[in-house]
Chain A
Amino acid sequence: MIQLIYLTVLLPFIGFLINGLFGSKIKNEKIIGAIGSSAIGISFIIVAGAFFELLSLPADQRSVIVTLFTWLKTGGLDVSVAYQVDQLSIVMALIVTGVGFLIHIYSIGYMHGDKGFWRFFAYLNLFIFAMMNLILADNFLLLFLGWEGVGLCSYLLIGFWYDRKFEKSTTADAAKKAFVVNRIGDFGFLLGMFLIFMEFGSLNFSEVLPAAAAGGTSEFIFTMIALFLFIGATGKSAQIPLYVWLPDAMAGPTPVSALIHAATMVTAGVYMVARTSVIFASSEVMMEVVAVVGILTAFFAATIGLVQTDIKKVLAYSTVSQLGYMFLALGVGAFSAGIFHVMTHAFFKALLFLGAGSVIHGMHEEQNIMKYGGLKKYMPHTYITFLIAAIAIAGIPPFSGFFSKDEILWYSFANGGFVFWLVGALTALMTAFYMFRLVSLTFFGKERFDHHHVHPHESPAVMTIPLMVLAGLSIIGGFIGIPEVFSGTHGNLFHGWLEPIFAQANSKLASHGSHSHATELILMAVSVALAASAIYFAITVYTKKQEIAAQTASRFKGMYNLLLNKYFVDEVYDATMVNPLVKFSDKFLWKIADVKMIDGLVNGTASFFLRTADIIRKMQTGVTQVYALVMMLGILTALFWIITSL
C-alpha cells in the first residue's frame, strides 16, 4: 500500500478534474457528491493500508520515499516529485483523508440545492490534492507547491458565495484578506527556502535535515532560516501577528470552515515546523519565539472568544487559540504533543464546526447565538455530539482533548517554566468557559428565536452520521496518547510512534530537569478542576442567571468593548498598514509610478519597436533580387569581419 501512496494524491485530482470539467453538465448532486467523496474515501483506505504496512515494519525502516519522477534537475538543484511516507506524514495523511472524507459526506447534505454544488466538490477535491502534496512531499519545493495550492483553494472556498454579503463587506473581500495575509507568510517561507538551498545546497528533506542535525552551520543561520519558516507558519496557521484572516474566513460555507480552517490546512504550519524541528531546535532563540507567540496567541484569542456572539466566530477564535497551544508545544520542545493536539483538535473542532453548521442549517442561516436557545429538544443528535466535542475541547478526562492539552501543559511546565503553565491553564479555563457559554446559549435555556418564522429541525442523516463518527473519535481519540504516568511501562504510544522523527531535534535540545509524577498529577488535577468549575459557572450563568453576564459586561464596559472588537487589531492594521499602503499605491504607485513612469516606458518601448519593425519590414519587398542582394551583403560582411579579425 505504501507504494500506492501517489494514488492518494492522484485520486482527489481526478475527482477535481471530473467535477470541475463536467460537473456543470452532470447536474445530478448524487453523482457529483459520490465522485467527490469516493475519491477521498478510497484515498483514506490506501492511507490506512499504508499505515498498517508501516506498523509492520521495524521502527528504523519506517520512512519510505516513493519517487514518481524527476521534476527539476538543473545545476545543483535536483527535485523530484516524490512522496515520503513516515510516522509523521502518515498521521497527517490519516487526519486529512479521514476527517476530509467525513466532511465530504456531510457536505452532500449541507450544500444540497446550492447552484454551485459541483464547483464546491471540485474545489474540495482540489484542496485535498494540494494538502496531500503538502504533507507527503519529500522536499521543500513540492511542499511549497501544496502550500500555495491549499492557499488558493482556501481563497476560492472562502469566497465561494461571492455574491453574498459578509459583515460590513462581501465574502470576496474576506477571501482577498485571507489571500493577501497569507502572501506575507508565504514570502517568509520562500526566503527560508532560499536560505536553506544556499546553506545546504539541496531542498530534499532527506539531505537537508541530517545536514542540519550534523551541525557545522552557525546558529545565526539557523535562526534566520527558522525565523523565515516561522513567518510562513504564522500566516498559514493564523498566529500573531498574521491571525486576522482566519475569523473572516468564516464567510465560506461551514464544511469549509471545518475542513480547511479548523482541521487541516491551518495545521500545515504546525506540521511544517514539526517537519523541520531539527532546524528550530538548533536555534534557542527561535524556540523561545515559537513558544511565546504560541502562548500569547492562545491566550488573547481565547479572551476574544469569551464575548463573541456569532457561533462561527467563537469557534474561529477558539481555533486560533488551539493552534496557539500547538505552537506552544513545539516551542517547548514537545513536538509529538503538538502533533497529538493537531489530531485530537481535528476531531473535536471539525465536529464543533459541523455541529454549528447543522444548527445554522436548522435555524435558517441564523448565526447569532443570542437568537438561539433551547435547541436541545429540536436537534437531539446535533446537541449530543456538540456537547461531546465541547467536553473534549474543555479538557475533561477521558475525552481526547484532555490528553493532548494536558501533555502540552505538562511540557510547558517542565521545559518552559511556571509562567507558561499558568497562562496555558488560564487559557484552558477560558476555553471551557466560552465553549459552555456557547453550548448553554444554543441548546439550553429559553428559546429566544421567533417561532413564527424559524422552525428548528434536525439535519438529515447524511449530516448527522459524520457528526456521530467524529463524536466517537473525540471520545476515544486520546487513548493512543495516554501519558506515562497512567500507562506505566508502555509509555506514551503516540509519543513512541513519533519518537524517531523528532530524535535529532530532541538530542539538540538541552535536557531539562526531571519532575516527579506527583507534580504532574497535581498539575493535571488543578487544570481539570479549573476547567470543570468554568463549565459549571458558564452553564449556571448562561442558562439561569443571564443578568450576571449583563452586569459583568456593563461593569467592565471598557474591557468588554475591547474584547468584543477583538482588541481593535483589524482597525489598527487598517490605520497603520492597510490605509497608508492603499493611499500610497493610489497616489504614487498607480497615478505616478504606474501610469506616468511604467506605462510611459512600456508604451514608449512598444512604439519604438513598432517603428523600428516598420522600417525593417520594408526590406521584405517580395522582389527576389533584393533578397539575393541582402544575402550576398550578409556573406560579404561575415567574410570581411572574420578576415579583419584574423
Chain B
Amino acid sequence: MELTQNLHDLLSLRAELVLTAVILLLLGIELFSKGNKTLLRVVSLTGIGVVLILLFGESSTAQKLFIGSNGVPLMIIEPLGTFAKIIASISALFTILFMGINREDSTMVRREGEFMVLLLCTVLGVFFLSSSYDLILLYTGFELLSISSYALAGYNKRSSQSSEASLKYLVYGAASSAIMIYGISILYGLTGTTNIFIIQAILGSGALSGALLLMAIVFLLAGIAFKISAFPFHFWTPDVYEGAPTHFTAYLSVASKIGGFILLLRLILDLFFRKGFNSEILQPVSDLPWNDILIFISIGSMTIGNLVALWQKNIKRLLAYSSIAHAGYLLAGIAALNSTGLVAVLVYFAFYLLMNMGAFLVVILIKNEIHSEMLEDYNGIGSKLPLYAIALSIFLVSLTGLPPTAGFIGKFYILMALVNADLVLLAFFLFLNSVISLYYYVRVMKHLFISKPEKELGEAKQNVYGGVLTLVLAVPTIIFGIFFTPILRLAEAALKFYLP
C-alpha cells in the first residue's frame, strides 16, 4: 500500500523526472555520438522547454508527497517552490544559449555536453531545495547544487584563473556546508527529527530554547549566506565570478542565489515562524532576534558590495560586488518580515534575472570582440558596438534601480515594504547604497560612451544572434518598468498559501 502510494507520489514529480531523463539522455549522447553539438543543444533546450511547460502547468497547485507514518510529508509541490524552479530553469535556458556564443576558450565547445549535464544537475539541486520539507533532503539538494557548481566554475580548463576559482569555491563551499550540516545535526539532536513541520511544532510548543538552538540557527544561516553571497560569507564571490566562464558566472549569479533564497524562505516561512499571517507581520515561533540578524547581514552585504565595487576595474568583478549588494537588497525585503516584503523579494528576483543575465550577456559579447573585460578597454565601445552598449546601459540603469526600468519597480516595492514595517533605518541604508551604486554603474557608461579609446579599436561588429538575445532581455527590462502588474500578480500567486 505504502509502496504504491510512494510510487504514485514519485510520478507526481514530473518536472524532476523529465529533468533527470534529460540529464541521462545528454550523458548518453555525449558518450555515443561523440558530442554532436546540434543534437546536444536541441535535446537540452527542448528538455528545459518541456520542464518549463510542466512547471507553469503546476504553478498554482499544491500537492503533498511521500506522507510518512507520522502524517507529515517529505516533499510538497507548491507555488513558491515552483516559482524558484521556474527562475532556475529560465536562467539555465539562457545560460545554454549564452554558451553558444562565448568564445573565451576554444576547447569549451568540445565539452559542451559535460557542461550541460552539470548545469542541469545544479537545476535539479534547486528543484529539490524548492520542494523538500526534510532537512536531510534539503541538504542533499544544496550539495547537488554546490558540487556541480564547483566543477562548472573550473570548466575553463586552460585558464589558471578558472581553476583557482574552482578550488577556492570548493574549499570555501565545503567549509560552509560543513558548518551548515553541523547546524542541522544540532537541530536533530535537540528535536529527534529532521522534518521541518515537526521541528516547527516542537519549537512552537516552547519546549526548546537556549544557546544550542541559537547556534543551530546561526550555522544554518551561515550556509545560506554563503550560497547567496551575503556578508560576511561573500569573499568567494569576486574571485569565482571573475575566474569562471562568463556564461556560468551569469548562471551562478541568478540560479545559485535563488537556491539559497528559496531555502531561506522555506526555513523562515515553514520552520522558524508561525504558519501564515495573523497580522501583516510574521510571528516567529520562539523569541529570536530574527530582524536584527537579517538587517545586519543585509546592511553589511549592500554596503560592502557597493563600496568595494567603487574600485573595481574588471567588469566581472564589478558585477560580482554588485551581486553581493543585491543579495543585501533582497535580504532587506525578507527582513521586513511582512507580506509586502515577500512579494517584493519575488518581484525583484524576476527582474534581477533579466537585468543580471543581460549584463553578463553583454560582457560576453563585448569580450568576444575586444578580448578584454577591463573597463579601460571599454572606451569607445559606444560608437563601435552601439546596440551592446545601449543594452548594457539599460541593464546597469535597471540594476541601479532608476525608472523607467524594471529594477526601479523591484526596489520601490522593497522600500515600501521596509517603510510599512517601520524599518526606516534599513530603508535609508538601501537608498544610500543605491546612490553609491549609481556611481560605479554610471562609470561603466562613461567608459562606453564618453572616454576616448587610447588606441584604435580593431575590427569589431555586432552579430545578429547576440543582438536578438540582448533585445530579448533588454526590452522586457524597459517594459516591466512601466507595465509590471503581471509580474506582481505572479509573485502574489506564488505566495498564495502564505499571504494573509
Chain A residues packing against B (C-beta within 8 Å): 69-71, 73-75, 606, 609-610, 612-614, 616-617, 619-620, 622, 624, 626-628, 630-631, 633-635, 638-639, 641-643, 645-646
Q: How far is the CB of B150 from chain A (nearest CB, A)?
A: 14
18 further A-B contacts with Cβ under 8 Å, apart from A635-B179, A641-B292, are A73-B485, A606-B439, A609-B307, A610-B310, A610-B311, A613-B310, A622-B239, A627-B172, A628-B175, A630-B232, A631-B222, A631-B232, A631-B233, A638-B221, A642-B293, A645-B289, A646-B211, A646-B214
Q: Would you list 29 pairs from A and B whose C-beta atoms are within 8 A, ordered by A residue?
A: A71-B483, A74-B413, A74-B416, A612-B307, A613-B310, A613-B311, A616-B304, A617-B307, A617-B308, A626-B235, A627-B236, A631-B176, A631-B222, A631-B232, A631-B233, A631-B235, A634-B222, A634-B232, A635-B179, A635-B219, A635-B222, A638-B221, A641-B292, A642-B214, A642-B218, A642-B288, A643-B214, A645-B289, A646-B211
Closest 4 CB pairs of A and B: A634-B232, A627-B235, A613-B307, A617-B308
Q: Are B218 and A635 in contact (CB under 8 A)?
A: yes
Contacts of B219 in A (CB 8 A): 635
Q: Are B235 and A620 in contact (CB under 8 A)?
A: yes
A70-B485, A633-B232 known; A642 vs B307 contact (CB < 8 Å)? no
Q: How far is the CB of B164 from chain A (nearest CB, A)?
A: 9
**Interface membership of B341, Cβ < 8 A:** no
Q: Are A620 and B439 in contact (CB under 8 A)?
A: no
**A612 CA to B436 CA, complexed, in Å:** 12
Q: How far is the CB of B342 from chain A (nearest CB, A)?
A: 15
Q: How far is the CB of B345 from chain A (nearest CB, A)?
A: 16
Q: Which of B176, B218, B235, B436 contacts A639 (CB 8 A)?
A: B218
**Interface membership of B215, Cβ < 8 A:** yes
Contacts of A609 in B (CB 8 A): 307, 310, 436
Contacts of B259 in A (CB 8 A): none
Q: Are A638 and B218 in contact (CB under 8 A)?
A: yes
Q: How far is the CB of A338 from chain B (nearest CB, A)?
A: 34
**Interface membership of B168, Cβ < 8 A:** yes
Contacts of B233 in A (CB 8 A): 631, 634
Contacts of A641 in B (CB 8 A): 292
Contacts of A634 in B (CB 8 A): 222, 231-233
**Interface membership of B171, Cβ < 8 A:** yes
Q: Are A616 and B232 in contact (CB under 8 A)?
A: no
**Interface membership of B81, Cβ < 8 A:** no
**Interface membership of B238, Cβ < 8 A:** yes
Q: Which of A69, A631, A642 contacts B483 (CB 8 A)?
A: A69
**A545 CA to B171 CA, complexed, in Å:** 103
**A639 CA to B171 CA, complexed, in Å:** 23
**A279 CA to B239 CA, complexed, in Å:** 63
Contacts of A612 in B (CB 8 A): 307
A613-B311, A631-B175, A646-B211 known; A71 vs B485 contact (CB < 8 Å)? yes
Q: How far is the CB of A239 from chain B (nearest CB, A)?
A: 32
A630-B232, A646-B214 known; A624 vs B308 contact (CB < 8 Å)? no
Contacts of A620 in B (CB 8 A): 235, 238, 308
Contacts of B171 in A (CB 8 A): 624, 628
Interface size class of B (residues with CB under 8 A): 35 or more
**A573 CA to B177 CA, complexed, in Å:** 72
Q: How far is the CB of A644 from chain B (nearest CB, A)?
A: 10
Q: Are B308 and A613 in contact (CB under 8 A)?
A: yes
Chain B contacts with A in 378-395, Cβ cutoff 8 A: none
**A613 CA to B303 CA, complexed, in Å:** 9
Q: Which of A617, A619, A626, A639 contacts B215 (CB 8 A)?
A: A639
**A71 CA to B436 CA, complexed, in Å:** 29
Name which of B221, B239, B485 has the most chain A CB atoms within 10 A of its CB: B485
Q: How far is the CB of A274 from chain B (nearest CB, A)?
A: 29
Q: Are B485 and A624 in contact (CB under 8 A)?
A: no
Residue of A nearest to B436 (CB): A609
Q: Are B172 and A624 in contact (CB under 8 A)?
A: yes
Contacts of A645 in B (CB 8 A): 289, 292
Residue of A nearest to B308 (CB): A617
Contacts of B221 in A (CB 8 A): 638
Name which of A71, A619, A620 has the most chain B CB atoms within 10 A of its CB: A620
Q: Are A69 and B436 in contact (CB under 8 A)?
A: no
Residue of B nearest to A610 (CB): B310
- 0/1 interface trace, chain B 207-249, chain A, CB 8 Å (1 if under): 0001100110011011000000001110110110000000000
Contacts of B488 in A (CB 8 A): 73
Residue of A nearest to B168 (CB): A624
**A638 CA to B289 CA, complexed, in Å:** 11
**A631 CA to B293 CA, complexed, in Å:** 15
Chain B contacts with A in 287-309, Cβ cutoff 8 A: 288-289, 292-293, 296, 304, 307-308
Q: Are A617 and B218 in contact (CB under 8 A)?
A: no
**A73 CA to B344 CA, complexed, in Å:** 13
**A317 CA to B219 CA, complexed, in Å:** 77
Contacts of A631 in B (CB 8 A): 172, 175-176, 222, 232-233, 235
- 0/1 interface trace, chain B 176-214, chain A, CB 8 Å (1 if under): 100100000000000000000000000000000011001
Q: How far is the CB of A518 from chain B (nearest CB, A)?
A: 59
Q: Which of A74, A606, A628 contacts B172 (CB 8 A)?
A: A628
Q: Are A616 and B238 in contact (CB under 8 A)?
A: no
A609-B307, A613-B310 known; A638 vs B179 contact (CB < 8 Å)? no
Q: How far is the CB of B84 from chain A (nearest CB, A)?
A: 24
Contacts of B238 in A (CB 8 A): 620
Name which of A71, A612, A613 has the most chain B CB atoms within 10 A of its CB: A613
**A226 CA to B311 CA, complexed, in Å:** 53
**A646 CA to B210 CA, complexed, in Å:** 8
Residue of A nearest to B222 (CB): A635
**A606 CA to B443 CA, complexed, in Å:** 14
Chain B contacts with A in 424-445, Cβ cutoff 8 A: 436, 439
**A597 CA to B95 CA, complexed, in Å:** 48
**A616 CA to B436 CA, complexed, in Å:** 15
Q: How far is the CB of A386 from chain B (nearest CB, A)?
A: 44
Contacts of A646 in B (CB 8 A): 210-211, 214
Contacts of A610 in B (CB 8 A): 310-311
Contacts of A622 in B (CB 8 A): 239
**A613 CA to B440 CA, complexed, in Å:** 12
Contacts of B175 in A (CB 8 A): 628, 631
**A630 CA to B175 CA, complexed, in Å:** 13
**A612 CA to B176 CA, complexed, in Å:** 28
**A274 CA to B70 CA, complexed, in Å:** 69
Q: Are A643 and B211 in contact (CB under 8 A)?
A: yes
Residue of B nearest to A635 (CB): B222
Q: How far is the CB of B228 from chain A (nearest CB, A)?
A: 14
Q: Are B235 and A630 in contact (CB under 8 A)?
A: yes
**A104 CA to B179 CA, complexed, in Å:** 72
Q: How far is the CB of A531 from chain B (nearest CB, A)?
A: 50
Q: How far is the CB of B309 from chain A (nearest CB, A)?
A: 8
**A642 CA to B413 CA, complexed, in Å:** 30
Name which of A617, A630, A639 has the most chain B CB atoms within 10 A of its CB: A617
Contacts of B172 in A (CB 8 A): 624, 627-628, 631
